[in-house]
Structure 1
Amino acid sequence: MVESMNEVKHRIASTKSTRQITEAMEMVQTVKLNRIQGQTVTYNKYVSKIKSVIMHLAQSHLLDNRKPSSSKASDSKKKTAYLVITSDRGMVGSYNSNIIRGTKRFIEEHSPNPDDYVILAVGGNGADFFKKNDANVSYEYRGVSDIPTFSEVKKIVKAISQMYDDGLFTELYICSSHFVNRIRSDFKAQKLLPMDRESIEESMSTGEGIGSEVKTKKLTAEYEVEPSEEEVLNDILPQYAETLAYGAILDAKTAEHSSSSMAMKAATDNAGDLISSLELKYNRARQAAITTEITEITGGQEALNH
């Protein structure tokens, strides 16, 4: 009985130590979540402006006959790339599994033949999963900052754009987690390349980052541009692609921090429940031991009296 009580005491102490760790990790992730949400506000202001410019330029019908960006791949070698954004570490709840499951389903619908697609992985979990499953992982980037900077993402976009220009693939989709609120995130697949009318209108239709005044009022061409509207559009579209990629990674990181915070909260709550259960078990065992001891003393006293 004494040994059993000591084991329970050890488990209580160990669980309390674990709870302190998960509580601290929950606080850290909450701080990161608050910081990245503040950065998202700034990003939304920027993307609202750049989308507004493109939409105004579109009034000149420059997108009507716009051809996809140049790629050395021929039509007979069409291949799709899927940029999968996951985390580098665990302890993020179902965050990674939801992205991987959503990506697999999206690939099965659009590229059922393994020879028709390549994987570009941002985050170690996605890279490791698709490698283990013999997928063609042509690019991987690990160690994205907790609060990603635009310059950091620009390096990723530059590397991927070079692969596109070299003909490794002819179109690109970003597969990631979209942050809805602190308790919910949804899988999202968004076309990034080529930057043609179809993909631009698709991204515009989401309304993300567009101010209400841009979405509601009737737009007219309001800019005087030099040397020409077409050349301005050719310059701004690469910036727009970088902006979409940055937004996707920023959004994914927000969802990651939220999922990690919720996972740590659940672990803390579970630890609390386990501690309560163990303390009840310990108190019962202690009470039983005391009762046994009293019974033995009483029995011994009665034996002496006789």
Structure 2
Amino acid sequence: MVRGNVTRTSEFFLLGLSGMPEHQPVLFSLFLFMYLVTMVGNMLIILAISSSTTLHSPMYFFIASLSCVDICFTSVTIPKMLINIQTHRQSISYVGCLTQMYFLILFLELDNVLLAVMAYDRFVAICQPLRYTTIMSPQFCITLVSVALLVTNIYPLVHTLLMDTLSFCAHVRIHHIFCELYALLKLSCSDIHTNELVVYTLGSVLFVIPFFFISLSYMHIFSAILRLHSSQSKLKAFSTCSSHLAVVSLFYGALFGVYLRPSSSYTIEDSVATVLYAVVAPMLNPFIYSLRNKDMKGALRSLLGWGQLSS
């Protein structure tokens, strides 16, 4: 059903989280702070892992890969928003908007798949420790990440091609800080049933299946931990998974809260929820993985020279 005046728009307007001028300096400072913390935190994680030989293991390889994705994820969105606030311009070109949407979905998928791969890594480490080095070989880990990178390009490519066939109403104001999929679909004057069908079919394969894979892995992990006789062994085994579980909970809590509903029910409040997985989660991930990990904290101290100062 056609709604309003149809136009082949050349640009969209990102209204952000608030249209009140007095809020813009606060939002600029807040998001600039979060972006800098995200960049510095994830870069430190990558440098610590690459510089410390004790962290050259599959688990840390995947953590470094996740940090790379989080850097790209936030860099697709926050800089453009900061520029818009600083220049008092809300526009983004049509091509720029679709490009931003493409990379947002791509890096969101990569986060999703990497979390599933990391769950499998923990499953092998706890349930099949004697075969860990054989199964999780460097070649296998690199292959997993490479295949993930190739496969996750399918979904954003399909959505970008489908989005390019839609017409948009004259009112092309996006109540968001970036070109989010549901926010764009809600603006379309065309029939979006095909787009929503892709979300619930192909999207389920690439988003929900990794979540169930993570759940299945942890069912086996918890079962193996409960069979351990020593409480100290149980605590040690669980501590190797606690950071990953915290990241998974934060990521999927916000993700499912927004995307497991029709795009027609998308509200401005949902744009705040998407900030959790697009901005807050990438910022917190380095702290979650480093604060509860002695090897990571030791590598960070060595990287920053704190170990030499304390000695």
TM-score when normalising by structure 1: 0.26
Q: Specify which structure has the higher proportion of strand.
A: 1
Q: Specify which structure has the higher proportion of helix.
A: 2
TM-score when normalising by structure 2: 0.25
The structure number with the bigger radius of gyration is 1
